[in-house]
Structure 1
Amino acid sequence: MRFPGRSAMFAFGVLASTVLPAMADPVTVKDVTGRDVEVNVPVKHVILGEGRQIYFLAALDKENPFQHVVGWRDDLAKADPESYAAYLAKYPGIAKLPTFGGMKDGTFDIEQAVSLKPDVILMNIDAKTATEEAGYIEKLAKAGIPLVYVDFRERPMENTEPSMRLMGKLMGKEQVAEDFITFRSDAIKQVTDVLEKANPKKPVVFVERAGGYSDDCCMSFGNENFGKMVELAGGINMARKIIPGTFGTVNPEQIIASNPDQVIVTGGMWEAYVPGGDWVGVGYGADLAEAHRKLDKLTKRPAFTGVKAVRNGDVHGIWHQFYNSPYQFVAIQQIAKWLHPDLFADLDPDATFRALYARFLPLDYKPGYFVSLKGE
């Protein structure tokens, strides 16, 4: 038998390297809980523990963020139907993606997950307790499937950057992740640098979480999420000392007694959850006239009787999903513009969001994320 010469073998090696796909390499990554997890990267198959995780996956893959998704939780179509419809129109194949229930409500189907042979499962940090109590990590490990935690909700101002870097590492999009982080940081500095120099008086702000979603009043935020965004935007979060964690509830009497200067209500198109509800329908391409009507209706509730913000028209609606995505910097800019209109007269949050879409996201931008009663 005649063996090929060294030059022939070299030529074969070059050919193979150009034809065969690059093999994934095992790498140990640290998730946002501090766990060291071994994952073969770049991952080729991923399960999204929450459908809204597409917000950050899309920012890393402008061409086709779904190309490696083999399953996802079924929340996006209900929580953000406009964005889901836009993604569905561009990527119709997502209608056939297997869907899952949640870890927290015990409806996650681990056998289905294993059958899809993912390289990794992404889980939000707020599902950590339920995940551990059910022993999912150990069960998945027996099938050779790692689980990593990300966080854009519990401590987004602390965990967004490490979560994006982690995802960049997993998806082989490390430079894109760094570019996004820089874009985000620069947008926030457009607010914080001005405030540091001007040192304006800070208005008291009440942020109502998902106002009108139920008849109860009122959910809000402690010293994180929208509460932290308010402070970065130059305000005092009314509920900071009332709510010890990220999320909680304040009594109507506390709102009246605090007499906030500004009220911000988070909202979305939640027809699937609360048909015909009083929620403020802001979001991708939203009908702002209808959102304005609903926002005004919410001010008539007893919790806002005689409140300064209502008297002065300083009541605003903002897209709820800023609380659960890496796009919080747009919300910070808009809140700053509401709280300090003279300082930020030239700041254009809508243009910032439009630039984000143009540079990082696969969809065409549609406004509709903010509404206000001020001056109307």
Structure 2
Amino acid sequence: MKKKLAFSIVLMVTMIFLLSACGNGGTSDTGKSNNTKEVSVKDNVNKNINNDNVKVIKFVDDMGKEVVMKQPAKRIISLYSAHTENLFALGLDKEIIGVSKSDRFPEAVKTKKAYSFKDDPETIIAAKPDLVLIRTMIAKGYPDFVKALENAGINVVTLYVTDFNDFDDYINKLGMLTGKEKEAKEKLKEFHKTIDEIKAKAEKITKKKKVYFESRKKNYQTATPNSFAGTALKLVGAENIASDLEVSKKSSTVVSYGEEKLLSKANDIDVFVAQKGVMNKTVSIDEIKSRPGFDKIKAVKNGDIYIIDEKLISASNFRFAEGLKLLQKMIYPELYK
């Protein structure tokens, strides 16, 4: 009996030992398996982190097209002067391989090859750009040109600012496209600092002067309220004599005011400002004075007529701040004495 009991005890201990060994072995194998799974999960997390670090550029351009780029552009052709000027302002001289034939600023554009949307698209394709920047007029008027570039695998992005309030968004998009987001924010900060200084001076004005701004002589077109020039009048502290302007198109920056309506306010116009540039090529102070009926305008009588560069007051670039200061000096010279 005792022998049987002893044998049973030995058998039980042996079984427990064997079960324990199997359990440890199982745990060990499972542990290895678990460790393998943990490494695999960590690898996947790391891959996700790495993917997150590669920031995909994604937004909708001004033609409603979704822009998706895996990396910032390194070979850029700009077919619009505002884009060109702003790209240079962001420090992208090396990345710009082409500009439009009408570009004149900055001086460095003279060192770049000039292209046109009216040319054979193959001339641009041959340059192997990874980004071509255009405006809505090109996208709408020359769809075959745009399609040819896109079919060649080139990113074609349409950006065009008509409302001053959209300027920051536009510059930030240029920053995204080119990897210059930090520079874009810094330039905008500097830009708005200058504007704030001008607004501070405007707050000192006790009596606002009434100003007529001529965008184009033809049909006596003037700037719409939210355009760059229209906004400029508000920022410098002037009263826009054409504030009763009827604007039918949201995207329009200039609208006909009419000679009759303008002359009906002749006695109220303190200052007459005309821009000179592509839209208003032949304007001059003497030319304005010689216009029929303009001798009745108060500003003309008093010699308060000024000409300002279109690129400083109507274009979506950083020099707008410079134009603002110049405009304020024209209208309120006493603020700068």
TM-score norm. by structure 1 comes to 0.64
Deviations 1:104-155 (A, max 9, x none): xxx2533333332221111124444335xx2555544332222222234x22
- Judge conservation of contact 1:51–1:74 (CA < 8 Å) in 2: no
Question: Take 1:74 and 1:187, find their aligned partners in 2: how far apart are those partners?
Answer: 31
Secondary structure class of the residue paired with 2:336: coil
Could you say which residue in structure 2 is the equivalent of 1:170? 177
Q: CA RMSD in A?
A: 2.9
- Of the candidates 205, 208, 214, which is equivalent to residue 208 of structure 1? 214
2:115 corresponds in structure 1 to 99
Work out whether residues 115 and 124 of structure 2, in 8 Å CA contact, stay in contact via their aligned partners in 1: no
1:75-132 deviations in Å (ceiling 9; x for gaps):
12xxx4xx46x336xxx642xx14113xxxxx2533333332221111124444335x
Higher relative contact order, chain-length normalized (CA < 8 Å, sep 6+): 1
Q: Distance in 2 between matches of 1:243 and 1:127?
A: 27
Find the counterpart in structure 2 of residue 141 from structure 1. 150
How far the C-alpha of 1:68 sits from its partner, in A, is 2.1
Report if aligned partners of 2:57, 2:71 keep a CA contact under 8 Å in 1. Answer: yes
Corresponding letter in the other structure for 1:180 = K
1:261 aligns with 2:291: no
CA drift at 1:316: 0.9
Alpha-carbon distance between aligned partners in 2 of 1:51 and 1:238, rounded to the nearest angstrom = 30
Among candidates 159, 184, 190, match of residue 191 of structure 2: 184
Deviation at 1:193, TM superposition (A): 3.3
| Structure 1 counterpart of 2:59 | 29
Show CA shifts across 1:210-268 (max 9, x none). 55xxxx45232122221221122212223343351311223222221122211111114
For residues 202 and 108 of structure 1, the distance between their equivalents in structure 2, rounded to whole angstroms, comes to 49
> Residues 43 and 185 of structure 1: is their aligned pair in 2 closer, same or farther, counting only changes over 3 Å?
same
Name the CA distance, whole Å, in 2 between partners of 1:218 and 1:182: 35
Separation in 2 of the partners of 1:306 and 1:186?
40
Distance (whole Å) between structure 1 residues aligned to residue 135 and residue 69 of structure 2:
17
Q: More displaced, 30-39 or 168-177?
A: 30-39
Deviations 1:335-367 (A, max 9, x none): 22333333x225xxxxxxxxxxxxxxxxxxxxx
Matched, 1:250 2:250: no
Quote the Cα distance in structure 2 between the aligned partners of 1:321 and 1:184.
Answer: 16
Name segments (4+ residues, structure 1) moved above 6 Å. none
**Take 2:140 and 2:207, find their aligned partners in 1: how far apart are those partners?**
40
* Counterpart residue type for residue 192 of structure 2: S
Aligned match of 1:315 in 271, 281, 305?
A: 305
Q: Which runs of 5+ in 2 are unaligned?
A: 1-53
Counterpart position of 2:79: 49
Equivalent AA in structure 2 for residue 332 of structure 1 = L
**TM-aligned CA deviation for residue 37 of structure 1:** 0.5
User: Match of 2:327?
Assistant: 335
Deviation readout 1:308-358 (Å, 9 max, x if unpaired)? 11112211111111222232122222222333333x225xxxxxxxxxxxx
Indicate the residue corresponding to 2:69 in structure 1: 39
Q: Which has the greater radius of gyration?
A: 2
From 112, 116, 119, the equivalent of 2:127 is 116
Counterpart position of 2:318: 326
Alpha carbons 2:130, 2:154 under 8 Å: kept = yes
User: Cα 1:326–1:129, aligned 2, differ >3 Å: closer, same or farther?
Assistant: farther
Paired letter, 1:203:
K
- Once residues 32 and 109 of structure 1 are traced to their aligned partners in structure 2, the CA distance between those partners, rounded to angstroms, is 24
> Which residue number in structure 2 is paired with residue 301 of structure 1?
291
CA separation of 1:316 and 1:299: change in aligned 2, threshold 3 A:
same
Q: Is the 8 A contact 2:276 2:282 kept in 1?
A: no
Aligned residues between the structures: 275
AA in 1 matched with 2:264: A
Cα distance change, pair 345–31 in 1 and its aligned pair in 2 (3 A): same
The structure in which a higher percent of residues are helix is: 2
Q: SS of the residue aligned with 1:318?
A: strand
Shift of 1:52: 4.5
Overall identity of the aligned pairs, in %:
20
- Equivalent pair of 2:72/2:178 in contact (CA under 8 Å): yes
C-alpha change, 1:319 and 1:98, in structure 2 (3 Å) is: closer
Is residue 278 of structure 1 aligned with residue 282 of structure 2?
yes
Structure 1's unaligned 5+ residue stretches are 1-23, 102-106, 280-293, 347-376
The answer to whether the 8 Å contact 2:80/2:134 transfers is yes
Question: For residues 122 and 246 of structure 2, what CA distance do their matches in structure 1 show?
Answer: 38
8 Å CA contact 1:219–1:247 kept in 2: the answer is: yes
* Partner-residue secondary structure (3-state), 2:211: strand
Listed as ranges, the matches of 1:68-83 within 5 Å are 68-76=95-103, 80=104, 83=105
Query: Cα distance, 1:199 vs. partner?
Result: 6.1
Contact 2:134 2:156 in 1 (8 A): yes
The 1:203/1:35 distance shift into structure 2, 3 A limit, reads farther
Structure 2: how far apart are the matches of 1:161 and 1:53? Answer: 13
Q: Which residue of 1 aligns with 2:230?
A: 227
Per-residue CA deviation, residues 275-296 of structure 1 (Å, 9 max, x unaligned), is xx733xxxxxxxxxxxxxx423
With the length of structure 2 as denominator, give the TM-score of the two structures.
0.71
Deviation, structure 1 residue 170: 1.8
